[in-house]
Structure 1
Amino acid sequence: MTTSPPRRMRADARRNYERLLTEAAAVFAERGVDASLEDVARRAGVANGTLYSHFPTRQALLEALLRSSMENLAATARELRDHPSAYEALVTWLRAAIVHTTAYRGLAAPMMRSLKDETSELYAACQAVLAGGEALLSRAHAAGAIRADATPEDLYALVNAVAWAGEQTSPEQGERLLTFSLDGLRPT
């Protein structure tokens, strides 16, 4: 399955690929990740077959859209490992992860499903992001800044819960939920 353009793609095929990604980003931002793929193809000015030849599944299209964002999120985690405060590094990363997860309405659910679905196109990227969060969490554990029983899976669920709450109510409510959760992550 093709989620990135082959090195030797005809110029018109590359334009179609890029146009599909651009229009998918716009459609998913407007209507959520469950929006019609036919709408994506129509807005890109291509036939449905062209869309499916580049992105055989919705997950493949999401993976292509999210690839660089997820790589950046994993890189952010690596950069934050040297932050003077283990707690602030973790909180900064959590906020970046929430911004990533709210890029498209409805993204929280597919991201959460992809965490454990090894057949998902998003699985490897989710694992890299989770590993980055795990390293920051381990550092926060070692510094005594976070409860000892907090797990990487807890952080991923927290990111998705805050993103979902922000979508369903308001970003302010999502921020309040994050603040309450961060208070709960502090050691007792």
Structure 2
Amino acid sequence: MPERQRADARRNYARILAVAEAEVAAHGAAASLEQIARTAGVGSATVRRHFPTRRALLEAVSRTRIEALCVRAHDLTGTGDSHTALLEWLSDVVDYCVSARGLAAALAYDGAGSDPVHENACSAAVEEAAGPLLRRAAQDGAVASDVTVEDLITLIVGIVLATEHHPDPATRAHRLFRLTVAGLSPQS
């Protein structure tokens, strides 16, 4: 939100964001923009002026968690075993996505391309932060050299979205994450 906005525009932004956080927590990424506008006491055009796309709204709602994931990736970079550090961070991403409805959708790649209005700032921030973790693990031979952060986030988003309506989504998501990491072959 630009600092040069009028005071009423800043108040509207803050009110819309607070309502959106509650709506996304309750209803996930499909939270009604019209309901958000009604609850915030503004018109739907005001919501769209501040958040031109649903993704922009989800990114704003998810910003604090994305920043925390980026800090966590930075903290784990260069510490201990590279494979363990990468898996610990990915497990944190699973935890955040399961606990914060809408975060998986904010991280999902939608193929919007280079249009800055539709750019996925959440994914870009996570990719930048996790890049050193993944590069170190690849250099150590802990993961295949052609694996990308985008690949890993896409797997996590898929797992989280597939399990969000499960009676125990966190347990199910972590089980599928462990299966993904271990592969389907029995451990010897």
Structure 2 length normalisation: TM-score?
Answer: 0.82
Asked if 1:179 corresponds to 2:178, the answer is yes
8 Å Cα contact 1:114-1:122 kept in structure 2: no
Which residue of 123, 127, 145 maps to 1:126? 123
Q: In terms of mean alpha carbon deviation, does 169-178 or 114-123 score higher?
A: 114-123
Separation of aligned partners in 2, 1:152 and 1:14: 35
Which residue of 134, 139, 142 maps to 2:139? 142
After superposition, the Cα gap between the structure-2 partners of 1:176 and 1:103, relative to the gap in structure 1 and judged at 3 Å, is closer
Identify unmatched segments of 5+ residues in structure 2: none
Which residue of 147, 150, 154 maps to 2:151? 154
Residues 72-115 of structure 1: CA distance to partner in whole angstroms, max 9, x if unpaired?
A: 32222122112112122101211222233335545534532247
Asked if 1:35 corresponds to 2:13, the answer is no
**Corresponding letter in the other structure for 1:180:** L
Which residue of 45, 50, 53 maps to 1:54? 50
Query: What is the Cα deviation at residue 23 of structure 1?
Result: 0.7
Q: Secondary structure at the match of 1:9?
A: coil
Asked if 1:73 corresponds to 2:72, the answer is no
8 Å Cα contact 1:162-1:177 kept in structure 2: yes
Which residue of 86, 90, 93 maps to 2:82? 86
Q: In terms of mean alpha carbon deviation, does 108-117 or 172-181 score higher?
A: 108-117
Separation of aligned partners in 2, 1:26 and 1:128: 24
Identify unmatched segments of 5+ residues in structure 1: none
Q: In terms of mean alpha carbon deviation, does 153-162 or 15-24 score higher?
A: 153-162
Query: What is the Cα deviation at residue 55 of structure 1?
Result: 1.7
Q: Secondary structure at the match of 2:109?
A: helix
Structure 1 length normalisation: TM-score?
Answer: 0.82
Provide the residue aligned with 1:8 in structure 2.
4
Paired residues, what number?
A: 182
After superposition, the Cα gap between the structure-2 partners of 1:171 and 1:70, relative to the gap in structure 1 and judged at 3 Å, is same
**Corresponding letter in the other structure for 1:168:** H
**Corresponding letter in the other structure for 2:66:** M
Residues 118-148 of structure 1: CA distance to partner in whole angstroms, max 9, x if unpaired?
A: 3254523312212322321221122232344
State, as a whole percentage, how many aligned pairs show the same letter: 39
Provide the residue aligned with 1:163 in structure 2.
160
**Corresponding letter in the other structure for 1:125:** C
Residues 18-45 of structure 1: CA distance to partner in whole angstroms, max 9, x if unpaired?
A: 1101111111111121221010011112
After superposition, the Cα gap between the structure-2 partners of 1:12 and 1:149, relative to the gap in structure 1 and judged at 3 Å, is closer
